[in-house]
Amino acid sequence: MPELDFPAWIRITHFINIIFISFLIRSGIEILGTHPKLYWNDDSKPGSEWARFTRKVMPRDKLYDTLDEEEDYSSVVSMPGHKQLGLGRHWHFVSVLGWILCGLTYVILLFATAEWHRFWPYSWAVFPQAFKDMVTYLNFDLPPTLPGEPYNALQKLTYGAVVFILAPFQILTGAAQSPALEARFPWYVRMFGGRQWARSLHFVALLAFLVFIVIHVFMVLVHGFGKETAKMIFGDEVYPAAAAIITIAALLGLVVLHWAATKYTLTRPRSTQRILGKVTNNTRRVLLHRLKSRQDYSRADLTPEHRVNGKPPTSNEYKIMAAHNFADYRLEVAGLVERPMTFTLEELRTFPTKQTQRVLHNCVQGWTSIGEWTGVPLRQIVELIRPRPEVRYICFWTMQDSGRDEPSAPGGGQFYEVIDLHLAYQAQTLLAYDMNGGPLPIKHGAPLRLRLETQVGFKMAKWIERIEFLDDYSPIGEGMGGWREDHVYYDKDVGI
């Protein structure tokens, strides 16, 4: 076996890894806080959670939605804190890209040099030796390193497991939470036992990381803070005092970096959304945007009580229209089109093409439910109205006024969402008027809602009253591509 030590690339990637993983953990807690419950079932049935991180009790006699279940965590534990899911997601996705890049660099260099030997258990004897090492630690003693190697047997196996099992597992369970991947490869999410299993396992792996980090740091202290940090700073056990000082300064620098990033994010959210979004949106568009939904869940999979997000319009006009079974409903389809049209609900229901699909709904907050939706494929409407060549986007205007209908929402105005035109041509992009075999319930968007199976739930506008074809969405609202993008800094393209 070649001589193993701590070359510069190991030391540099180790340091960069600390930065990214600390941002990942805090932003992950922010995401968890927006639906602070974990399940082993894809229905996300209230009361069936195996873990909850909230004391909120939901009313039984009034419609509540999952926005009401959000928790407001402190910035000390979450990034950026204070119910900022959109900004937390930006940080999580930027950090994961950096983390994967750093990890790939590490693994490539590990195999390009002889350093991979440090993790390879050459003999079965390593395993009982690792157990003996643990017993030695528990007896407040230090086990010896393996002959000619930088680690003892327990370290060798633990570090190897973190690099080659835990980290890839965390990436795979994270990817399994992407609606675009789930929709295109339903077998992938089923491999983990379902979407909520993937989310729960992602959390369990986070706990494993936290336990590892705590023990790892504790062991550095036990083995000798200066001596051990010297290996990661100078590559050898030299200048322990200087190493200790540099390490403490670096850790303080990390705290300052987190503080500055959090402060900037909370005080300049729009600019954070734009800067981080540039990195994540381009990656998402390349990796996920062209994936097409191929879901077909069975009737037995349907969620008995599909969860809800968003509250119905409270205008008198809407209530009267609903009392009359939406007989006065009109869907206006206009904008940059050759043939603007208006449809009654009856016309939509008797459209020549009627499509039904049973699919997994992914809320941006993390919960899921499985529903059956029936309606008109959006591409049929698009073909009828004939968009002009310059059209690139479709805006769905709804009857919901967020300020009036969703008092906990930050900001008001008519709710709208914008999607790319090409998504309208996907086979499972639907204007749904039925759900689970009956008329679409009011709480799920009656009389008409969008189903866009490769995106997270908030893009699927409910209570739609107007569809507008656009060449540019920047003049609408704050110009970010939707009400949630404008007001809560979500990303416009949400394949994950």
- Give me the residues that bind another protein (CB under 8 A), please: 61-63, 311-312, 314, 316, 319-328, 345, 349, 405, 407, 438-439, 441-443, 446-447
Counting beta carbons within 10 angstroms of the beta carbon of residue 403, is it exposed (0 to 12), middle (13 to 18) or buried (19 or more)?
Answer: middle
Minimum CB–partner distance for residue 108 and another protein (Å)? 55
Minimum CB–partner distance for residue 320 and another protein (Å)? 4
Nearest to 310 by CA among 417, 435, 386, 394: 417
Minimum CB–partner distance for residue 432 and another protein (Å)? 14
Question: Residue 62 or residue 475: which is nearer to another protein going by CB?
Answer: 62
371 strand-pairing partners: 359
Minimum CB–partner distance for residue 445 and another protein (Å)? 12
Minimum CB–partner distance for residue 63 and another protein (Å)? 5
342 strand-pairing partners: 332
Nearest to 246 by CA among 15, 8, 5: 15
CB pairs under 8 A, 24+ apart, for 164-170? 164/119, 166/205, 166/208, 166/209, 166/212, 167/103, 169/201, 169/205, 170/202, 170/205, 170/206, 170/209
Question: Residue 55 or residue 62: which is nearer to another protein going by CB?
Answer: 62
Question: Residue 442 or residue 464: which is nearer to another protein going by CB?
Answer: 442
Helix, strand, or coil (residue 473): coil
d(CA 261, CA 218): 27
Q: How many CB atoms lie within 10 A of CB 407?
A: 9
Phi, psi of 121 (to 5 degrees): -80, 100
> Contact, 257 vs 247, CB < 8 A?
no
Question: Residue 223 or residue 324: which is nearer to another protein going by CB?
Answer: 324
Question: Residue 377 or residue 445: which is nearer to another protein going by CB?
Answer: 445
Question: Residue 55 or residue 60: which is nearer to another protein going by CB?
Answer: 60
d(CA 156, CA 143): 12
> Contact, 361 vs 372, CB < 8 A?
no
Instruction: State the DSSP string of 125-155.
Output: THHHHHHHHHHHHHTT--PPPPTTSSS-HHH
Minimum CB–partner distance for residue 325 and another protein (Å)? 5
Question: Residue 311 or residue 466: which is nearer to another protein going by CB?
Answer: 311
Helix, strand, or coil (residue 404): helix
Kindly state the tokens that stand for 313: 């319009």
393 strand-pairing partners: 420, 470
Question: Residue 150 or residue 412: which is nearer to another protein going by CB?
Answer: 412
Question: Residue 82 or residue 443: which is nearer to another protein going by CB?
Answer: 443
d(CA 449, CA 413): 19
| Residues, the chain | 496
Question: Residue 267 or residue 314: which is nearer to another protein going by CB?
Answer: 314
For the CA atoms of the chain, what is the radius of gyration?
26
Minimum CB–partner distance for residue 435 and another protein (Å)? 9
Minimum CB–partner distance for residue 434 and another protein (Å)? 9
Kindly state the tokens that stand for 393: 């986007």
Minimum CB–partner distance for residue 402 and another protein (Å)? 12
Phi, psi of 401 (to 5 degrees): -110, 110
Minimum CB–partner distance for residue 57 and another protein (Å)? 17
Minimum CB–partner distance for residue 319 and another protein (Å)? 5
Question: Residue 274 or residue 349: which is nearer to another protein going by CB?
Answer: 349
| Contacts with 234 (C-beta within 8 Å, 6 or more apart), sequence order | 243
d(CA 496, CA 486): 19
Distance between the two ends of the chain, CA-based, in angstroms? 43
Question: Residue 216 or residue 324: which is nearer to another protein going by CB?
Answer: 324
> Contact, 483 vs 402, CB < 8 A?
yes
Minimum CB–partner distance for residue 436 and another protein (Å)? 10
